[in-house]
A and B are shown apart, each in its own frame.
Chain A
Amino acid sequence: MKKKLFLVLFFSLFALFVTGCYNYHELENLAIVTGLSIDKKDNQYVIGVLVANSKKQEASSKEGQSQTIVYEGHGNSVMEAFYNIDLESPKQLYIGHLAVVVIDENIAKNEIEKISDILIRSPESRKNFYIVIARDAKAADVLKITSPLESYPSQNVSMNLKNTSTYQGISTDITYSEFIASMLTPGINPTLPTIKISGSVKDGEKQQNLESSSPETKLHLDTLAIFRDTNLVGYVNEEESRIINILNRRTAYSLTSVKYKDNNIVFHLSNFSIKRKATLENNQPIIDVSLKATAAINEINTNADLSDPDTITKINQLLENKIKNDILDTIHTTQNEFQSDIFGFGNLFYQKYPKYFSDIELDWDKKVYATVKINADVNIDLETKGSLEQTIRREMYGKTTK
């Protein structure tokens, strides 16, 4: 009995030292990959991984600077490229805390589904990282550009995406699982945010880039990329990006401006409530989009009398028309120019008229979508004028000024 007990205790203690347990790894043996870039060169995949916990980082973190390592690997598939990096890196690559994946434009145009598999199949990855397309730049370069405000380039990109998509609505923070979901759901096409590099990449990856108060090389987010099925078909402009994000319920706030008496009034939009309805009349698909929102005047340069209720009503009318036209224009652009249903209207038909949709599913984007009739109804509530009752000119000279 005593001997048995001793043996059990001995082996129990021994188990603490055994590193062969499934899935066991000590933290210091992991290279924490926070950013991943995928490019293609000479028919081979080139992937870059941004490792956050390098020894260099430890030394530099005390001085408030950032230094991370970007490894690059080549291979016929993404996984092979990954294994090639493992040969270089003394630590095992760990993608559980992946924050951003940057994809090259050309890959996005042709074969995004080929590189998507590895990231969704790996049990290690969390699937909630952001995915972004490098526009006019090598994807690997995006990971190298340091930023003075965030410790890691990947952090820089992901925080930027998060804030911009919430407060502006030009870019959007689409996580990988959302992207895959919109790729797999019938009747909806994905959109992805894009990113650009301004300045030279060579300077951007150096520490000196951070020493200047206005860094030479910067990353900045660009407008949305539109996909049809799995292929990138083009980019929309800023105004269209905003509308797409509003209609897809991907932003909480947005901006828009209206021309009034040759000058601009800028509005801040919030409290969006979007209703989308699909109807089928004599085989003619119709989509009704209704948008309710609250607007606040952000900036006004015209000489309008803001205390006059009629003026306010007029401005409100103008704003509603402007947004309505924007919505219709944006949807028409996607119907005609890109032939891609990024709003998921097809999905509404799929849910409401499954039989009808199953007949046209394969033709939906290229043929049917362009023929869909769109009705838009916009209802804006101009709520506040901000901290100033009147325009500055009127505050100064009184109401008589013209």
Chain B
Amino acid sequence: MKKIEKSIDKVFLTVQKMNGKSSDIKTRKIMQDESQIGILFLQSVSSDDKISDILIHSIMEIMESSHLTGKNLLQELYNHLYNGTIKEITTYQDLFYHLVNGFTAILVEGENKAIVVETKSTLDRGIQESNTETSLRGPKDSFTENIVVNLGLIRKRIKDPNLYFEELFVGRRTKTKINLAYLSDVADQERVEKLKKRLQEIDIDGVLDSGNLRSFLNPQKSAFPKIMSTERPDFVCGYLLEGKIAILVENTPFVLIFPTLFIDFIHTPGDYYQKTKNVNFSRFLRILGFFVTLLVPAAYVAIMTYNPEMIPDKLFISVAIQREGVPFPTAIEILMLGITFELLRECDLRMPSKMGTAISVVGGLVLGDAAVNAGIVSPFAVIIVAMTSVAGLLFTDIDMVNALRWWRLIFIFFASICGMIGVVIASIMLITHLSTLETFGIPYLTPFAPFYLKEQNDALFLTEKSKIKNRPRYLSSKNKKRLNWEVKK
């Protein structure tokens, strides 16, 4: 590692050479009598105000006084600069790292050291309301791209010394800062260590979003998401209190929650803000939505083409009359409509919202009316696909929605080649698949398989919240008690 040279000009030159004379490298020399001081910073990530108003001002003062007293200038600067974060460094590697992080380097002629002080400019959009996870009740703030702000949002909610933030860096080029947040006296320490080790092993050139890490943390092949991401700090705190670990990644508002089980997609931490009975109805809808979105189109195909005796006479006849004149087999009809819907949804995701109206007009016309009138699809198929798609969107996690979409295709495929038996085969495949998954030793279907009787009070449905006194035992074995309160009669 190359040491910093004594001459300011040489240092300036070397840094400029390292970075291909990039335009944002700014240098400045300040001279007072014999003392020479060089200032070096990257304009793009530093705050001009901080440097000019505070830093240079304070440097001037120190230089003047040190000249009068004749003390070591570098030491004086180190001791008296008006700044919270200040460091002494000796190598170019360190120097450059700090520069790109918004630090300003102060060089003194004749010293082979440099002082770096923090002059970061705020390059984020501030705390805003969450777009992806909205709820009627509960805090409105969401994470930003600034990891320090994000950590603050968590810290201000859990004022416990046992809330640990462990920092590490991933990414050969991006050097992305990653923080593991957990409650040290609740979370499973072994799991934290394992996770840390796994993260440190990652050798990738860039981490641009927390999503980049997912595949490294979970090498098992599956469409189902095994790590959840959220941008709501209150949700993250809810998970931390349960004994989970949050992975905060610099420059992204999406925080990974670890470990995530299947059940976490049916629950949301927002559930606990509301009345138990109402929550249970919402959960019932989510469970229903899960089955509807997976099974309904497949069951439709199976019943229409193999097992028509399963539906009541009147419904059967009216469906049969609607199918009259439709040129495609039922499976193709459902696939066509389903794919049209997915196309529209994909468009909606990519397009700016101003284009949304055009898409919805076309979508409404194409899906709703014209296709039926033209006799390409039957009205009943439109209802089926609409129901399926809407039910699928009940899940907020986009990975879950996509996993269900993928499995829905598998179900339709099996239904179209062997009817109801095919649906059963696909169901067995799905259950087998879900049972084989695990995250760091915890089976994905916990607490159903393996079955934990004591955890059933918050599994599918929630019992009275005052009765849930312990943390989920499969997450952590220590500090189980979560609530110590009896209902007063």
B176 to chain A, nearest CB (A): 34
Contact with A99, one of B304, B313, B321 (Cβ below 8 angstroms)? B313
Flag if B416 contacts A30 (CB, 8 Å): no
Bound CA span A15–B331, Å = 11
- Beyond A23-B419, A34-B317, whether A53 also contacts B324 by CB under 8 A is yes
**Which of B314, B321, B331 contacts A58, CB < 8 Å?**
B321
User: Contact: A61 with B320, CB < 8 Å?
Assistant: no
Pairwise interchain contact A27-B308, C-beta atoms closer than 8 A: yes
| Contact flag A16-B416 (CB < 8 Å), given A25-B305, A97-B309 | yes
Binary flags per residue of A24-52, CB closer than 8 Å to B gives 1, else 0: 11111010101000000000000000001
A15-B417, A124-B309 known; A28 vs B317 contact (CB < 8 Å): no
Interface residue tally for chain B (C-beta within 8 Å): 26
> Which chain B residues border A61 with CB–CB below 8 Å?
321
Interface SS of B by simple majority: helix
Give the distance in Å from the alpha carbon of A99 to the alpha carbon of B308 in the complex. 14
Does chain B have a CB within 8 A of A94? yes
Which residue from chain A places its CB closest to the CB of B308 in the assembled complex?
Answer: A96
Complex CA gap A94/B317 in Å reads 12
Known contacts A21-B418, A23-B419, A99-B313: A28-B323 contact under CB 8 Å: yes
Tell me if B165 is interfacial: C-beta within 8 Å of chain A: no
Point out the residue from B316, B326, B330, B417 that lies within 8 Å of A97, measured CB to CB.
Answer: B316
Are A12 and B418 touching (Cβ within 8 A)? no
Total A residues in contact with B, Cβ cutoff 8 Å: 30
State the CA gap A137–B321 with chains docked (Å).
31
Enumerate chain A residues within 8 angstroms of B309, measured Cβ to Cβ: 96-97, 124, 126
A15 nearest CB across to chain B (Å): 5
Evaluate contact between B320 and A30: CB separation under 8 angstroms: yes
Q: In the bound complex, what is the Cα–Cα distance between A24 and B413 (angstroms)?
A: 14
Whether A27 pairs with B416 at a CB distance below 8 angstroms is: no
Q: Which residue of A lies closest to B312 (CB)?
A: A97
B166-197 interface bits toward A, Cβ cutoff 8 Å, 1 = contact, 0 = none: 00000000000000000000000000000000
Residues of chain B contacted by A16 (CB below 8 angstroms): 329, 331-332, 335, 413, 416-417
Q: B301 → chain A, closest Cβ, in Å?
A: 10
Interface residue B325 (Cβ < 8 Å from any Cβ of A): yes
Closest A residue by C-beta to B301:
A16
Within 8 Å CB of B316, what residues of A?
A: 32, 97
Closest CB in chain A relative to B275 CB, distance in Å: 42
Contacts of A15 in B (CB 8 A): 413, 416-417
Q: Which A positions have Cβ atoms within 8 angstroms of B?
A: 12, 15-17, 19, 21-28, 30, 32, 34, 52-53, 55, 57-58, 61, 94, 96-97, 99, 124, 126, 152, 155
Sampled A-B contacts (22; CB under 8 Å)? A15-B417, A16-B329, A19-B329, A21-B418, A24-B305, A24-B419, A26-B304, A26-B329, A26-B330, A27-B319, A27-B323, A27-B330, A28-B320, A34-B313, A52-B320, A53-B317, A53-B320, A58-B321, A58-B324, A96-B308, A97-B313, A126-B309
Which 8 pairs of residues, A with B, have the shortest CB-CB distance?
Answer: A96-B309, A53-B320, A27-B323, A28-B323, A52-B317, A58-B321, A27-B320, A97-B313
Q: With A27-B305, A155-B313 given, can you name 12 additional A-B contacts, CB distance below 8 Å?
A: A16-B332, A23-B419, A26-B304, A26-B329, A27-B320, A27-B323, A28-B320, A28-B325, A30-B308, A32-B317, A34-B313, A52-B320
Residues of B at the A interface (CB closer than 8 Å) are: 304-306, 308-309, 313-314, 316-317, 319-321, 323-326, 329-332, 335, 413, 416-419
